[in-house]
Amino acid sequence: MKTELEKKMRIPKFEYFHPSSIEEACSLLYQYKGEAKVLAGGTDLFVKMKKKEIHPRVLVSLKGISNLDKIEWHDKEGLKIGPLVTHDALVHHPVVRERFDFLAETCFKIGTRQVRNMGTLVGNICNASPSSDAAAPLLVLEAKVKLVHLNGERTIPLQEFFLGPFQTALDPQEIVVGIQIPKPAPFTFGSYQYLHKASSVGETLVGTAVLLIMDPKDLISQEARIALSSVAPTPIRAKAAEKILKGKKLEERIIKEAAQVASEETQPRSRPWYRREMSRVLVERAIFQAMEKIR
Protein backbone atom coordinates (compact mmCIF):
# COMPACT_ATOMS: atom_id res chain seq x y z
CA MET A 1 0.00 0.00 0.00
CA LYS A 2 1.28 3.41 -0.94
CA THR A 3 1.26 6.10 1.74
CA GLU A 4 -0.57 9.39 1.25
CA LEU A 5 2.78 11.14 0.87
CA GLU A 6 3.86 8.73 -1.88
CA LYS A 7 0.57 9.33 -3.69
CA LYS A 8 0.95 13.08 -3.41
CA MET A 9 4.54 12.98 -4.73
CA ARG A 10 3.63 10.80 -7.73
CA ILE A 11 4.36 12.53 -11.03
CA PRO A 12 1.13 13.14 -12.98
CA LYS A 13 0.72 11.35 -16.31
CA PHE A 14 2.12 13.05 -19.41
CA GLU A 15 2.84 12.36 -23.07
CA TYR A 16 6.51 11.95 -23.92
CA PHE A 17 8.11 12.95 -27.22
CA HIS A 18 11.67 12.21 -28.31
CA PRO A 19 12.36 14.42 -31.36
CA SER A 20 15.50 13.99 -33.44
CA SER A 21 15.96 17.65 -34.38
CA ILE A 22 15.48 21.12 -32.94
CA GLU A 23 12.98 21.88 -35.71
CA GLU A 24 10.86 18.89 -34.68
CA ALA A 25 11.07 19.91 -31.02
CA CYS A 26 9.96 23.47 -31.88
CA SER A 27 7.07 22.10 -33.92
CA LEU A 28 5.89 20.09 -30.92
CA LEU A 29 6.03 23.16 -28.68
CA TYR A 30 4.02 25.07 -31.28
CA GLN A 31 1.52 22.24 -31.60
CA TYR A 32 0.89 21.94 -27.86
CA LYS A 33 1.24 25.67 -27.11
CA GLY A 34 1.62 26.22 -23.34
CA GLU A 35 0.90 22.58 -22.41
CA ALA A 36 4.42 21.31 -23.19
CA LYS A 37 7.70 21.52 -21.28
CA VAL A 38 11.21 20.89 -22.55
CA LEU A 39 13.16 18.12 -20.82
CA ALA A 40 16.96 18.25 -20.57
CA GLY A 41 18.34 16.96 -17.25
CA GLY A 42 15.01 17.04 -15.42
CA THR A 43 16.44 17.72 -11.95
CA ASP A 44 14.27 20.82 -11.49
CA LEU A 45 11.40 19.86 -13.80
CA PHE A 46 10.49 16.56 -12.14
CA VAL A 47 10.68 18.05 -8.64
CA LYS A 48 8.18 20.73 -9.67
CA MET A 49 5.93 18.10 -11.23
CA LYS A 50 6.05 15.98 -8.07
CA LYS A 51 5.14 18.99 -5.97
CA LYS A 52 2.26 19.75 -8.39
CA GLU A 53 3.69 23.22 -9.03
CA ILE A 54 3.41 22.63 -12.78
CA HIS A 55 1.17 20.25 -14.75
CA PRO A 56 2.56 19.79 -18.28
CA ARG A 57 0.51 17.52 -20.53
CA VAL A 58 3.53 16.92 -22.76
CA LEU A 59 7.30 16.59 -22.21
CA VAL A 60 9.60 17.20 -25.18
CA SER A 61 12.98 15.59 -24.55
CA LEU A 62 16.13 17.02 -26.15
CA LYS A 63 18.16 13.89 -25.51
CA GLY A 64 17.64 12.42 -28.97
CA ILE A 65 19.06 15.49 -30.72
CA SER A 66 22.73 15.23 -31.65
CA ASN A 67 25.45 17.71 -30.64
CA LEU A 68 23.47 19.42 -27.88
CA ASP A 69 25.88 18.11 -25.24
CA LYS A 70 28.90 19.90 -26.73
CA ILE A 71 31.24 22.40 -25.08
CA GLU A 72 32.97 24.31 -27.86
CA TRP A 73 35.77 26.86 -27.72
CA HIS A 74 36.34 29.32 -30.56
CA ASP A 75 39.26 31.72 -30.38
CA LYS A 76 37.12 34.61 -31.67
CA GLU A 77 33.64 33.74 -30.37
CA GLY A 78 34.59 32.29 -27.00
CA LEU A 79 32.81 29.43 -25.24
CA LYS A 80 29.57 27.80 -26.38
CA ILE A 81 27.69 25.50 -24.00
CA GLY A 82 24.92 23.27 -25.35
CA PRO A 83 21.61 22.68 -23.55
CA LEU A 84 22.50 19.09 -22.58
CA VAL A 85 25.87 19.96 -21.04
CA THR A 86 25.84 18.84 -17.42
CA HIS A 87 27.42 20.59 -14.45
CA ASP A 88 29.85 17.69 -14.11
CA ALA A 89 30.97 18.03 -17.74
CA LEU A 90 31.83 21.68 -17.09
CA VAL A 91 33.70 20.80 -13.89
CA HIS A 92 36.06 18.51 -15.80
CA HIS A 93 36.35 20.23 -19.19
CA PRO A 94 39.97 21.38 -19.75
CA VAL A 95 39.10 24.67 -21.49
CA VAL A 96 36.59 25.61 -18.80
CA ARG A 97 39.07 24.76 -16.04
CA GLU A 98 41.82 26.78 -17.72
CA ARG A 99 39.95 29.89 -18.91
CA PHE A 100 36.87 29.97 -16.67
CA ASP A 101 38.12 28.26 -13.53
CA PHE A 102 35.63 29.90 -11.18
CA LEU A 103 32.72 28.71 -13.35
CA ALA A 104 34.04 25.15 -13.07
CA GLU A 105 34.43 25.64 -9.30
CA THR A 106 30.85 26.90 -9.06
CA CYS A 107 29.45 23.93 -10.99
CA PHE A 108 31.27 21.62 -8.56
CA LYS A 109 29.37 23.29 -5.68
CA ILE A 110 25.93 22.63 -7.19
CA GLY A 111 23.91 19.92 -5.46
CA THR A 112 25.10 16.36 -5.05
CA ARG A 113 27.16 14.27 -7.46
CA GLN A 114 23.94 12.74 -8.84
CA VAL A 115 22.52 16.22 -9.52
CA ARG A 116 25.73 17.36 -11.20
CA ASN A 117 25.73 14.25 -13.40
CA MET A 118 22.12 14.79 -14.51
CA GLY A 119 21.43 18.51 -14.20
CA THR A 120 22.35 20.87 -17.01
CA LEU A 121 23.65 24.44 -16.88
CA VAL A 122 20.96 25.61 -19.33
CA GLY A 123 18.24 23.91 -17.29
CA ASN A 124 19.54 25.62 -14.15
CA ILE A 125 19.31 29.01 -15.85
CA CYS A 126 15.85 28.30 -17.27
CA ASN A 127 14.61 27.43 -13.79
CA ALA A 128 15.48 31.05 -12.88
CA SER A 129 15.78 30.46 -9.17
CA PRO A 130 16.90 33.65 -7.38
CA SER A 131 19.38 31.46 -5.48
CA SER A 132 20.95 29.88 -8.57
CA ASP A 133 24.67 29.35 -8.01
CA ALA A 134 25.52 29.30 -11.71
CA ALA A 135 23.80 32.61 -12.47
CA ALA A 136 26.30 34.88 -10.68
CA PRO A 137 29.45 33.65 -12.52
CA LEU A 138 27.60 33.74 -15.84
CA LEU A 139 26.48 37.31 -15.20
CA VAL A 140 30.02 38.59 -14.56
CA LEU A 141 31.20 36.65 -17.63
CA GLU A 142 28.51 38.58 -19.57
CA ALA A 143 27.01 35.40 -20.95
CA LYS A 144 24.28 35.45 -23.58
CA VAL A 145 21.43 33.02 -24.12
CA LYS A 146 20.53 31.74 -27.59
CA LEU A 147 16.86 30.88 -28.11
CA VAL A 148 15.18 29.30 -31.13
CA HIS A 149 11.55 28.96 -32.16
CA LEU A 150 9.72 27.62 -35.18
CA ASN A 151 10.28 30.76 -37.25
CA GLY A 152 13.69 31.97 -36.19
CA GLU A 153 16.08 32.65 -33.33
CA ARG A 154 17.31 35.40 -31.03
CA THR A 155 20.18 35.96 -28.62
CA ILE A 156 19.79 38.02 -25.45
CA PRO A 157 22.09 38.92 -22.54
CA LEU A 158 21.59 36.70 -19.52
CA GLN A 159 20.81 39.78 -17.43
CA GLU A 160 17.72 40.40 -19.61
CA PHE A 161 16.72 36.73 -19.47
CA PHE A 162 15.75 36.84 -15.78
CA LEU A 163 12.44 38.65 -15.22
CA GLY A 164 11.49 37.61 -11.68
CA PRO A 165 11.57 34.66 -9.28
CA PHE A 166 11.36 31.56 -11.52
CA GLN A 167 10.36 33.79 -14.46
CA THR A 168 12.33 34.28 -17.68
CA ALA A 169 12.01 35.94 -21.06
CA LEU A 170 11.70 32.47 -22.62
CA ASP A 171 8.50 32.10 -24.63
CA PRO A 172 6.66 28.77 -24.10
CA GLN A 173 7.34 27.95 -27.76
CA GLU A 174 11.08 28.69 -27.58
CA ILE A 175 14.01 26.45 -26.68
CA VAL A 176 17.32 27.61 -25.22
CA VAL A 177 19.91 25.97 -27.46
CA GLY A 178 23.00 27.35 -25.80
CA ILE A 179 24.86 29.74 -23.57
CA GLN A 180 27.56 31.87 -25.17
CA ILE A 181 30.42 33.33 -23.13
CA PRO A 182 32.74 35.82 -24.86
CA LYS A 183 36.48 35.26 -24.89
CA PRO A 184 37.90 36.84 -21.73
CA ALA A 185 40.35 39.71 -22.00
CA PRO A 186 43.98 39.15 -20.98
CA PHE A 187 44.58 39.22 -17.21
CA THR A 188 41.00 38.22 -16.36
CA PHE A 189 40.51 36.54 -12.99
CA GLY A 190 37.39 35.53 -11.11
CA SER A 191 36.04 34.02 -7.92
CA TYR A 192 32.76 32.63 -6.61
CA GLN A 193 31.90 32.58 -2.92
CA TYR A 194 28.71 31.30 -1.36
CA LEU A 195 26.98 30.62 1.92
CA HIS A 196 24.43 27.82 2.15
CA LYS A 197 21.38 27.67 4.41
CA ALA A 198 21.75 24.35 6.16
CA SER A 199 24.10 21.97 4.35
CA SER A 200 26.70 22.06 1.61
CA VAL A 201 24.12 20.78 -0.89
CA GLY A 202 21.23 22.92 0.31
CA GLU A 203 19.85 26.13 -1.14
CA THR A 204 22.29 29.02 -1.28
CA LEU A 205 21.66 31.83 1.19
CA VAL A 206 24.03 34.28 -0.53
CA GLY A 207 26.15 33.77 -3.65
CA THR A 208 28.74 36.21 -4.98
CA ALA A 209 30.83 36.21 -8.14
CA VAL A 210 33.59 38.71 -8.90
CA LEU A 211 35.52 39.18 -12.14
CA LEU A 212 38.56 41.46 -12.36
CA ILE A 213 40.52 42.54 -15.40
CA MET A 214 43.82 44.00 -14.25
CA ASP A 215 47.52 44.03 -14.97
CA PRO A 216 49.37 42.17 -12.20
CA LYS A 217 52.18 44.76 -12.35
CA ASP A 218 50.21 47.67 -10.93
CA LEU A 219 46.99 46.06 -9.53
CA ILE A 220 44.87 48.78 -11.13
CA SER A 221 41.45 47.45 -12.05
CA GLN A 222 40.71 47.99 -15.74
CA GLU A 223 37.27 46.49 -15.21
CA ALA A 224 35.42 44.92 -12.29
CA ARG A 225 32.16 43.00 -12.30
CA ILE A 226 30.18 41.83 -9.29
CA ALA A 227 27.08 39.63 -9.29
CA LEU A 228 24.97 38.32 -6.43
CA SER A 229 22.32 35.63 -6.11
CA SER A 230 19.67 34.85 -3.49
CA VAL A 231 19.55 38.49 -2.34
CA ALA A 232 17.00 39.91 -4.79
CA PRO A 233 14.04 38.71 -6.91
CA THR A 234 16.58 37.74 -9.59
CA PRO A 235 20.37 37.31 -9.66
CA ILE A 236 21.79 40.84 -10.04
CA ARG A 237 24.87 42.83 -11.02
CA ALA A 238 26.10 45.31 -8.38
CA LYS A 239 26.76 48.16 -10.81
CA ALA A 240 27.38 50.90 -8.23
CA ALA A 241 30.01 48.78 -6.48
CA GLU A 242 31.66 47.99 -9.82
CA LYS A 243 32.13 51.71 -10.52
CA ILE A 244 34.02 52.15 -7.26
CA LEU A 245 36.59 49.55 -8.30
CA LYS A 246 37.06 50.49 -11.96
CA GLY A 247 40.27 52.35 -12.68
CA LYS A 248 41.45 52.13 -9.06
CA LYS A 249 44.39 50.42 -7.46
CA LEU A 250 42.72 47.72 -5.41
CA GLU A 251 43.80 48.57 -1.90
CA GLU A 252 41.98 47.32 1.19
CA ARG A 253 40.07 50.57 1.74
CA ILE A 254 38.64 50.59 -1.82
CA ILE A 255 37.72 46.91 -1.63
CA LYS A 256 35.86 47.35 1.66
CA GLU A 257 33.99 50.38 0.29
CA ALA A 258 32.91 48.46 -2.83
CA ALA A 259 31.80 45.48 -0.73
CA GLN A 260 29.67 47.73 1.46
CA VAL A 261 28.03 49.40 -1.54
CA ALA A 262 27.35 45.99 -3.12
CA SER A 263 25.53 44.89 0.03
CA GLU A 264 23.37 48.02 -0.15
CA GLU A 265 22.35 47.15 -3.72
CA THR A 266 20.71 43.91 -2.58
CA GLN A 267 16.96 43.46 -2.04
CA PRO A 268 16.66 40.40 0.23
CA ARG A 269 13.27 38.69 0.48
CA SER A 270 13.92 37.46 4.02
CA ARG A 271 16.55 37.80 6.75
CA PRO A 272 17.55 41.17 5.20
CA TRP A 273 20.19 42.28 7.71
CA TYR A 274 21.98 38.95 7.68
CA ARG A 275 21.90 38.56 3.91
CA ARG A 276 23.21 42.10 3.36
CA GLU A 277 25.98 41.57 5.89
CA MET A 278 26.98 38.27 4.30
CA SER A 279 26.88 39.89 0.85
CA ARG A 280 29.41 42.45 2.09
CA VAL A 281 31.65 39.73 3.55
CA LEU A 282 31.49 37.49 0.48
CA VAL A 283 32.09 40.29 -2.04
CA GLU A 284 35.17 41.32 -0.11
CA ARG A 285 36.32 37.70 0.11
CA ALA A 286 35.75 37.11 -3.62
CA ILE A 287 37.74 40.21 -4.59
CA PHE A 288 40.68 39.17 -2.45
CA GLN A 289 40.58 35.61 -3.83
CA ALA A 290 40.54 36.90 -7.43
CA MET A 291 43.53 39.09 -6.59
CA GLU A 292 45.37 36.10 -5.17
CA LYS A 293 45.03 34.46 -8.58
CA ILE A 294 46.46 37.60 -10.18
CA ARG A 295 49.49 37.53 -7.93
Structure confidence by residue, pLDDT tens digits, 151-167? 999 999 999 999 999 99
Delimit the CATH 3.30.390.50 region(s) of the chain: 188-294
pLDDT in tens, 198-250: 655 567 899 999 999 998 888 899 999 999 999 999 999 999 999 999 999 99
Delimit the CATH 3.30.43.10 region(s) of the chain: 4-61
| CATH number for the segment(s) 188-294 | 3.30.390.50
pTM for the full predicted model: 0.93
- What is the spatial distance between Cα 84 and Cα 89, in angstroms, rounded to a whole number? 10
Delimit the CATH 3.30.465.10 region(s) of the chain: 71-181
CATH 1.10.10.60 matches 4-61? no
CATH 3.30.465.10 matches 71-181? yes
| ∠ Cα 145 168 234 (to 5°) | 100
Q: What is the pLDDT of residue 238?
A: 98
Query: In terms of Cα–Cα distance, which of 227, 126, 135, 102 is closest to 178?
Result: 126
Name residue 113's beta-bridge partners: none
